[in-house]
């Protein structure tokens, strides 16, 4: 059945993948609400821009009057809330924007959603969903074993994860206090096409191709559980369509890798499909740099609840998803070169702790 869906942050990495997925694979009507910060890019949406089921409005979610008006006019069945400041290194250099968008912005979205929800008929109220998209980083760091589950206590460590943890608590409070029908997902590190070049995987691919040093933080032993972005957006649709109100769901890719292993896979894949002209391995470009302050050692997700209760599972292995991603960056230089010629030039971020 066709629903009307607001996607906040729909010009970002995951939001644009969700919008492309919903327009291509469902009958849903989508309104993308995005302020177009440095991370928002409408060129990620050219494939759907011509669809009569897609609309875009440039709005800062902290502008509560605009948020109320937009929700009222569009009359959504679902709000999927992805808009956020999302990069840990940037949160170390400048935490203020994270407090503003991730906390004040989420508050503004919740208030707008609640005002609208209260105006609905009982039947529409029952079917409405506010879906908040969050991260596994709110749970802090794991040592060599164990997994994050829906029961893991919150223990955020960076300004980014603290602001996301706060936003999760606000969403739960709006459910318990006001009855707003919410669902929350906490996912692991995403990767895939249209990923902003400051994040590890695209950064390494692009630096490989440019013949530049590949920066690996510390000894490269930090572990992340990688999730292919198209698997993630299928999980999001599953959760807002069939998830239980008031519940949270962990989303992970069953792909734990150390950062050094990730860089090795990129080098080895490029050695195979786009060898260096001097025939040396791209691994020659690896350089170890000072670790990120407060770098969490390991994140790993147990997504059993989402798999057993709602029937979702990832379709990509780490190797198949990485090959798709690397081929996409090789074939879409225009997209990332345009970003690189703008504000972000691939420089090191996240060293300002004093
Ligand atoms: N990327 C990951 O690996 C990952 C992992 C776990 C959770 N998440 C969460 O998923 C969501 C999306 O992440 P992403 O990687 O796509 O982020 P992103 O940085 O690529 O995109 C964020 C989008 O939000 C928009 N935005 C920022 N501030 C805004 C504001 N004040 N008003 C309106 N729009 C604003 C930006 O313009 C951008 O389009 C975030 O909430 C993030 O915390 C991401």
Q: Residue 237 in contact with residue 21, Cβ under 8 Å?
A: yes
Confidence of residue 88 (pLDDT cuts 50, 70, 90): confident
pLDDT in tens, 282-337: 999 999 998 888 778 899 999 999 999 999 999 999 999 999 999 999 999 999 99
Please give the C-alpha separations between residue 25 and each of 248, 304, 341, in angstroms, as whole numbers.
24, 25, 33
Domain boundaries 4-192+228-254+297-315, corresponding CATH code: 3.40.50.720
Q: What is the distance between the alpha carbons of residues 219 and 87, in angstroms, rounded to a whole number?
A: 21
pLDDT in tens, 250-281: 999 999 999 999 999 999 999 999 999 999 99
**pLDDT higher at 90 or 134:** 134
Residue-level pLDDT at 173: 98
Across the chain, the runs of DSSP E, i.e. the strands, are 4-8, 29-34, 54-58, 78-81, 129-135, 182-187, 189-191, 214-217, 223-228, 248-251, 256-258, 286-289
Q: Residue 39 in contact with residue 196, Cβ under 8 Å?
A: yes
Residue-level pLDDT at 311: 98
pLDDT in tens, 99-143: 999 999 999 999 999 999 999 999 999 999 999 999 999 999 888
Residue-level pLDDT at 346: 55
Ranges of each domain in the chain: 4-192+228-254+297-315
Residue 39 in contact with ligand 1 by CB distance below 6 A: yes
Q: Which of 123-127, 177-181, 204-208, 215-219 has the lowest mean pLDDT?
A: 215-219
Residue-level pLDDT at 143: 84
Residue 249 in contact with ligand 1 by CB distance below 6 A: no
Q: Which residue has the tokens 């691919």?
A: 205
Alpha carbon 300 to its chain centroid, in Å, reads 16
Residue 201 in contact with ligand 1 by CB distance below 6 A: no
Confidence of residue 352 (pLDDT cuts 50, 70, 90): low
> Catalytic pick from 54, 116, 160, 228?
160
Which helix (H) or strand (E) segment is 140 a member of?
none
Q: Residue 175 in contact with residue 183, Cβ under 8 Å?
A: no
Please give the C-alpha separations between residue 23 and each of 26, 28, 84, in angstroms, as whole numbers.
6, 7, 22
Alpha carbon 32 to its chain centroid, in Å, reads 15
Q: Residue 260 in contact with residue 266, Cβ under 8 Å?
A: no
Ligand 1 mean position to 83 CA, how many Å? 5
Confidence of residue 353 (pLDDT cuts 50, 70, 90): low
Residue nearest to atom 41 of ligand 1 (CA): 82
């Amino acid at each position: 059945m066709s629903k009307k869906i607001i996607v906040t942050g729909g010009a970002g990495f995951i939001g644009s993948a969700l919008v492309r997925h919903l327009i291509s694979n469902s009958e849903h009507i989508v309104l993308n609400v995005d302020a177009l910060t440095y991370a928002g890019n409408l060129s990620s949406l050219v494939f759907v821009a011509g669809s009569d089921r897609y609309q875009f409005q440039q709005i800062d979610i902290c502008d509560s009057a605009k948020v109320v008006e937009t929700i009222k006019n569009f009359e959504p069945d679902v709000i999927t809330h992805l808009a956020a400041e999302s990069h840990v290194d940037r949160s170390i250099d400048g935490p203020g924007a994270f407090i503003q968008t991730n906390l004040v912005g989420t508050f503004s979205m919740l208030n707008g959603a609640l005002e609208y929800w209260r105006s609905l008929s009982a039947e529409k109220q029952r079917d409405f969903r506010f879906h908040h998209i969050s991260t596994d980083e709110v749970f802090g760091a794991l040592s060599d074993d164990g997994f994050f589950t829906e029961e893991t206590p919150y223990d955020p460590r960076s300004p980014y994860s603290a602001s996301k943890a706060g936003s999760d608590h606000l969403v739960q409070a709006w459910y318990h206090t006001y009855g707003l029908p919410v669902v929350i997902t906490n996912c692991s590190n995403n990767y895939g096409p249209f990923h902003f070049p400051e994040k590890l995987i695209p950064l390494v691919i692009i630096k490989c191709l440019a013949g530049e040093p590949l920066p690996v933080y510390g000894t490269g032993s930090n572990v992340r559980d990688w999730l292919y972005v198209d698997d993630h957006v299928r999980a999001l649709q599953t959760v807002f369509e069939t998830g239980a109100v008031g519940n949270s769901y962990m989303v992970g890719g069953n792909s734990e890798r150390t950062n050094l292993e990730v860089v090795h896979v990129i080098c080895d894949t490029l050695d195979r499909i786009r060898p260096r002209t001097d025939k040396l391995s791209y691994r020659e470009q690896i350089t170890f740099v000072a670790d990120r302050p407060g770098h969490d050692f390991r994140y790993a997700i147990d997504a059993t609840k989402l798999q057993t209760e709602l029937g979702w599972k990832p379709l990509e292995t780490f190797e198949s998803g990485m090959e798709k991603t690397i081929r996409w960056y090789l074939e879409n230089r225009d997209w990332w070169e345009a970003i690189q010629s703008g504000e972000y030039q691939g420089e090191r971020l996240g060293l300002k702790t004093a």
